[in-house]
Chains A and B, each alone.
Chain A
Amino acid sequence: MNTAVGGRLTYVVLWFRIFYGMHLTYSAGRHYLGYAPKAFLQAVHYTWSPHLTHPVAGPFIDAITAAGIYPLVKAIELVVGLALLMNRFVPLMLVVEMPISVVIFILNFFVVGTDRQLFSGPQEIVLNLLLIGFYAGYYRPLLRPRASPWPWWTEGPCT
């Protein structure tokens, strides 16, 4: 069995990892930049994301912002994005990002459905799933239909 990835696939995986890492870091950075002083924002011609007027997506974003979930989502995006760029904990980060990708996909593709959202919704989930596929070997130990408890303080599973 050939276990060496090597060759061109290594560069393909690298491209997608860096692309997704930059994409997430930009998304989070754009959000957090909005908290910078107004004079700075005017100097860099920053415009805050326009308020969503969609009858479903607008109230949804307003509600998760009011509940403090939206800033948390952006914090997760920032951590995942930087981890992907630095090649740290990549398999874990891809799983952590998955629920956010699913929500973005549903909201953009099925709910909002503008030209941009019809592209960016599937883009989000395809990138996440594609990278999970590239790192699939790391998830094999998790695929146990019947698992015994294995607390962190024991050396092996409880029998």
Chain B
Amino acid sequence: MHLSRIFDFGYDLVPTLVASSVVLLAVLRDRARRRRGSNNP
């Protein structure tokens, strides 16, 4: 069974890439905020 017959570019791959990018940005943003917070007590 070939994966291209199960997964779809638009329905699965694009949402995966977008969701992963948004989460990555959120993680980086939160880390930066925590770092700024610890530098300015």
A contact set with B: CB distance below 8 Å: 11, 14-16, 18-23, 26-27, 30, 114-116, 119-120
B contact set with A: CB distance below 8 Å: 1, 5-8, 10-12, 14-16, 18-20, 22-23, 26-27
Q: A11-B27, A115-B5, A115-B6 are in contact. Are A26 and B11 (CB under 8 A)?
A: yes
Q: How far is the CA of A14 from the CA of B10 in the complex (A)?
A: 19
Q: A11-B23, A14-B26 are in contact. Are A116 and B8 (CB under 8 A)?
A: yes
The answer to whether A30 and B26 touch across the interface, beta carbons within 8 angstroms, is no
Residues on A with beta carbons closer than 8 Å to the beta carbon of B15: 18-23, 26
* Interface of A, helix, strand, loop or mixed by DSSP: helix
Task: For the complex formed, measure the closest distance between the CB of A11 and the CB atoms of chain B, giving whole angstroms.
Answer: 5
Residues on B with beta carbons closer than 8 Å to the beta carbon of A114: 5
The answer to whether A18 and B22 touch across the interface, beta carbons within 8 angstroms, is yes
Residue of B nearest to A120 (CB): B11
* Interface of B, helix, strand, loop or mixed by DSSP: helix
Closest 10 CB pairs of A and B: A22-B15, A18-B19, A19-B19, A115-B5, A19-B15, A23-B15, A15-B19, A119-B6, A18-B22, A26-B10
The answer to whether B11 and A27 touch across the interface, beta carbons within 8 angstroms, is yes
Q: How far is the CA of A20 from the CA of B15 in the complex (A)?
A: 7
8 CB contacts below 8 A, A to B, read A14-B19, A19-B18, A19-B19, A26-B15, A27-B11, A30-B10, A115-B6, A116-B5
The answer to whether A19 and B16 touch across the interface, beta carbons within 8 angstroms, is yes
Task: For the complex formed, measure the closest distance between the CB of A48 and the CB atoms of chain B, giving whole angstroms.
Answer: 14
Residues on B with beta carbons closer than 8 Å to the beta carbon of A18: 15, 18-19, 22-23
Known: A16-B19, A23-B12, A120-B8. 15 other contacts (CB 8 A): A11-B23, A18-B15, A18-B18, A20-B15, A21-B15, A22-B18, A23-B11, A26-B15, A30-B10, A114-B5, A115-B1, A115-B6, A116-B6, A119-B6, A120-B11
